[in-house]
Amino acid sequence: MSSDVIRANVEVHSRMVEVYAKEPHFRPENQAKVRGILADLRTRAKGGKLLDLGCGTGFIINLARDLFDEIHGLDVTPAMLEKIDTSRGNITLHNTNAERLPFGDGVFDVVTGYAFLHHLEDFRPVLREAFRVLKPGGLFTGSDSTMSFRFRLYHIMDTCVPIDPPKFEARLQNAGFVDAHVEALPNYRTFKFNARKPS
């Protein structure tokens, strides 16, 4: 990804930090829903090691902190990471680009990416990296917004490459994943996905 795209991401997200908790996905009812998804993931995962890509101010990390033994959050924007409380001791933060993950192969039981993939010029390298760092049988899951006029306008100063849900299943398969499932949620103009690295 070009350094301009990264720079734009950092600039925009640094400006949003103080008001970020007002974003719609922080509504209590959505948090309860995502918490349920994470709890279910933990029961299906073989172990308790989670990586959250584009973790921002810790939306997923905060919902997962008592469910998983070891959580790694990764983001290019330092100001977002600074908002995350790591005092519990099971959370490690990495200020870096998700296109080249600073981990060896087969390390994580679960990788998540929430409201993150549309910020990438090309999400395919990140799918490949998520696949690489997962253990055999590891789970990849997340959610993102789909294209709308409002969404595009909202990202006028930023990179915004919304994903086309019907094509995303094939993209996950191209990266090596199996059991890829993509569900469009037109009422919310979002979709969610999950996939597994073969055992």
Ligand X SMILES: C[S@@+](CC[C@H](N)C(=O)[O-])C[C@H]1O[C@@H](n2cnc3c(N)ncnc32)[C@H](O)[C@@H]1O
Report how far Cα 11 is from the mean position of its chain's Cα atoms: 19
In terms of CB distance, is 9 or 190 closer to ligand X? 9
Report how far residue 42's alpha carbon sits from residue 30's, in angstroms, rounded to the nearest whole number. Answer: 18
Residue 39: both structure tokens together: 């709890």
Report how far residue 102's alpha carbon sits from residue 132's, in angstroms, rounded to the nearest whole number. Answer: 11
Residue count at the site for ligand X (CB under 6 A)?
Answer: 21
In terms of CB distance, is 77 or 141 closer to ligand X? 77
Torsion sign (Cα): 145, 148, 154, 158: positive
Using the rule CB under 6 A, is 119 a contact of ligand X? yes
Q: Which stretch binds ligand X (CB under 6 A): 51-59, 101-109, 131-139, 161-169?
A: 51-59
Contact residue for ligand X among 114, 131, 191, 193 (CB under 6 A) = 114
Q: What x/- string results for residues 14 through 43 when contact with ligand X is judged by CB under 6 A?
A: -----------x------------------
In terms of CB distance, is 32 or 178 closer to ligand X? 32
Closest CA to 80 of 157, 12, 159, 163: 12
Q: Are 100 and 126 in contact (CB under 8 A)?
A: no
Q: Which stretch binds ligand X (CB under 6 A): 40-48, 64-72, 74-82, 183-191?
A: 74-82
Q: Shortest Cβ distance from residue 183 to ligand X (Å)?
A: 18
Three-state DSSP at 127 gives helix
Report how far residue 74's alpha carbon sits from residue 80's, in angstroms, rounded to the nearest whole number. Answer: 10
Report how far residue 186's alpha carbon sits from residue 193's, in angstroms, rounded to the nearest whole number. Answer: 14
Tell me which residues in 126-155 interact with ligand X (CB under 6 A).
none
In terms of CB distance, is 59 or 191 closer to ligand X? 59
Three-state DSSP at 192 gives strand
Shortest-Cβ-distance residue relative to ligand X = 56
Report how far residue 187's alpha carbon sits from residue 96's, in angstroms, rounded to the nearest whole number. Answer: 33
Contact residue for ligand X among 13, 42, 171, 192 (CB under 6 A) = 13
Query: Applying CB under 6 A, which residues contact ligand X?
Result: 1, 9, 13, 25, 54-56, 59, 74-77, 80, 97-99, 114-116, 119-120
